[in-house]
Structure 1
Amino acid sequence: MVDEWSGFAALLANLIEKYAVVLNLDALPDLVIEEAVSEKDDADKNIHENDIEPVKAA
């Protein structure tokens, strides 16, 4: 079954195969994920605390 995306998928596959050696993707450093800082988390929770004025009774 050939659809309109198969030609594009084949082009991408060929480009990746051709340039994977040039880009040397195996030599990239490992991804490092840092833990969230609790101070920043607390600030994000209270960011909208003072955005809306309190409702006053008539």
Structure 2
Amino acid sequence: MNRNITQEEEAQRAPIETKWMNSAAVNARPFLHYLQYLTYGRLGERDHQLHALGVLGS
């Protein structure tokens, strides 16, 4: 994932931190379950959506 940063934000960081400021790290497994939840919701598959939500919550 990428995010935008301002010059002010960049000025507040150490030079080594600037390299990683454009990126955001997320744990893949919960993110994938969240994407499943959204996808099943759009497809109208409520049972699968609720299952993905349950897995995400655990």
TM-score of the two chains, using structure 2 as the length reference: 0.28
- Name the structure with the higher helix share: 2
Structure of greater Rg: 1
Taking structure 1 as the reference length, the TM-score comes to 0.28
Which of structures 1 and 2 has the larger relative contact order (alpha carbons within 8 angstroms, sep 6+)? 2
